[in-house]
Amino acid sequence: MRTIKQNKIQIIGAGPGGLAAGMILSSKGYDVTIYEKQPFIGGRTSRLTLGDYQFDRGATFLMMPHLWEELFESVQRDFHDYVTLERLDPLYELRFDGKKFSPSTDPSRTKQEIENLFPGNGDGYIRFMEKEGEKFEHVIKLLQRPLSKWTDLLSKDVFAALPKIHAADTVAGRLGRYFSDEKLKWAFSFQSKYLGMSPWECPGTFTILSYLEHRYGLWHPIGGVNQVCEAMAEVIREYGGKIHTNTGVDQIIIEKRQAKGVVLQDGSTVSADEVVINADFAFAASTLFPEGTLKKYAKAKVEKKKYSCSAFMMYVGLDRKVDMPHHSILFAKDYHRNVDEMTKQKVLSEDPSIYVHNPGKTDPTLAPGGKTALYILMPAPNLSADIDWNESKADVRNQILARLKQEPELADIEAHIELEQILTPQDWQDDMYVYKGATFNLAHSLDQMMMFRPHNQFEEVKNCWIVGGGTHPGSGLPTILESAKITSALLMKQHTSAPMSMGTTAEKKKEHSTL
């Protein structure tokens, strides 16, 4: 076994990717230290506390919990010892002009509701589930393996997958093969915004996002999705790993094009054998490397990359209960126009779409009795738009409240606001260090997918690795989790005698039961 000194890993950022990598590596005997600039862990998947109210800052649901179960099992832990999950059924309520659609994970129920609301489209839903399920079986093989060099494509599963992933089509185009009603297409395409893209431009591969929701369901962790990050942090500490909050990294130390450690904000330096970057990739490439180190990802080239949209957030504590579903989406009357204005014209829409998260419907721990912690998100242009958010902030807030007042359950919302906090695209960049405020990271256009995304083993600097939404396989919690698995496996593989975890699986479980 290598010595602790030879296995020192510094991870920059305690978001879900950095925490997952930290779990894996610490369980294998590596000396792991995570440095987090914020006073909290989780990054965009962190908890926001306002008085007696608790909010998820970003992600508001868990999908494919079996991936988390497998991750914890791989480090001799049981996910359900740390996190309590509640399954949501229906998945969400989608509100169109005059219609409400609440799909279920029960295909027969969803088909019947589609026939009731969108006659003649029920059979298309069954075909969607069958065909997209076949596609997912191919796509998942690309999401669980490194794609850093051309030879990574030379395998039977990749050759079999590439013709079937519909990358040359668009999400909207693919859905036209199943559904005739435009609003129903919106119901299966809004998930493109999880990637910060328009369904009319997002590669057709990503119809699997709505398929995954319908196939595997959506889950709420009691306390919020942020509790998954807290669970991973707990496991890291159990294995002897360290997590330092309020401890930012100013620069990565580079010697002979190798990462040798980090310079902390207080000016101190820490040596490392490997450095793992979980900070927002474009932010890291622009700020953390000595001038002149990067060429492929030099500042000017990073500036020209394509980025996702952003989000205008309102976290609102109401002094009364709200009888709305756990998840609701209020679609613009002209959703296509709304998306084009946001992603192409880079202007604010007069009629935006709005997402409302009302977790108190499921989880009583997030607000005092009789009150509501309401999370409101309006997708918005990123900072490449000519919008002064200091000037626009109040107007957008009022616009959102005016739209919410059109819903019967929120007609009096403004009179019941006890406290609130707003996060604009500018705040995402200034306070959360998200490049251009692009909350969903680099866009998933064809020229920024798979091999064309920054590689898990960073190609410009040795002993430097990337996890998170800015690398392969991309944005979203399930894919960020896969990025951590891929990166950790590559890192361990490069050692001729990779460290082994201490003790057997049975011993680990016995030890854990006494914690």
Q: Are 278 and 14 in contact (CB under 8 A)?
A: yes
Q: What is the pLDDT of residues 229-246, one digit of tens each?
A: 999 999 999 999 999 999
Residue-level pLDDT at 139? 84
Q: Which amino acid is at 25?
A: L
For the whole model, what pTM was predicted? Answer: 0.92
Predicted confidence (pLDDT) at residue 463 exceeds the cutoff of 80: yes
Residue-level pLDDT at 153? 65
Mean pLDDT score, 119-128 = 97
Question: Could you give the CA distance from residue 35 to residue 265 in angstroms, rounded to a whole number?
Answer: 10
For 100, 198, 326, 400, the CA distances from 405, given in Å and listed in that order, are 17, 27, 18, 9
Q: Are 167 and 203 in contact (CB under 8 A)?
A: yes
Q: What is the mean pLDDT of the chain?
A: 92
Residue ranges of domains in the chain, CATH in brackets: 5-47+57-85+224-305+443-513 (3.50.50.60), 103-216 (no CATH), 309-437 (3.30.519)
Mean pLDDT score, 85-102 = 96
Q: What is the pLDDT of residues 52-92, one digit of tens each?
A: 999 999 999 999 999 999 999 999 999 999 999 999 999 99
Mean pLDDT score, 491-509 = 54
Predicted confidence (pLDDT) at residue 514 exceeds the cutoff of 50: no
Mean pLDDT score, 130-143 = 87
Residue-level pLDDT at 321? 98
Mean pLDDT score, 496-507 = 42
- State percent of the chain over pLDDT 90: 85
For 70, 275, 438, 483, the CA distances from 500, given in Å and listed in that order, are 19, 20, 38, 21
DSSP assignment letter at 222: T
Q: What is the pLDDT confidence band of residue 496, given thresholds at 50, 70 and 90?
A: low
Residue-level pLDDT at 429? 98
Structure-token pair, residue 275:
């450095």
Q: What is the pLDDT of residues 330-347, one digit of tens each?
A: 999 999 999 999 999 999
Predicted confidence (pLDDT) at residue 505 exceeds the cutoff of 50: no
Please tell me the number of Cα atoms within 13 Å of 136 on its side-chain side. Answer: 16
Q: What is the pLDDT of residues 151-177, one digit of tens each?
A: 676 667 666 777 777 888 999 999 999
Predicted confidence (pLDDT) at residue 500 exceeds the cutoff of 70: no
Burial class of residue 293 (count of CB atoms within 10 Å of its CB; 0-12, 13-18, 19+): middle
Predicted confidence (pLDDT) at residue 1 exceeds the cutoff of 70: no
SS3 512: helix
Q: What is the pLDDT of residues 272-323, one digit of tens each?
A: 999 999 999 999 999 999 999 999 999 999 999 999 999 999 999 999 999 9
Question: Could you give the CA distance from residue 446 to residue 452 in angstroms, rounded to a whole number?
Answer: 8
Q: Strand pairing of 8-12 and 31-35?
A: parallel
Q: What is the pLDDT of residues 403-455, one digit of tens each?
A: 999 999 999 999 999 999 999 999 999 999 999 999 999 998 889 988 899 99
Question: Torsion angle, CA of 228/230/234/236, rounded to 10 degrees?
Answer: 80
Q: Are 40 and 47 in contact (CB under 8 A)?
A: yes
Burial class of residue 246 (count of CB atoms within 10 Å of its CB; 0-12, 13-18, 19+): exposed
Residue-level pLDDT at 154? 64
Q: What is the pLDDT of residues 17-29, one digit of tens each?
A: 999 999 999 999 9
Helices (H), 15-121: 16-27, 65-74, 107-117
Residue-level pLDDT at 143? 79
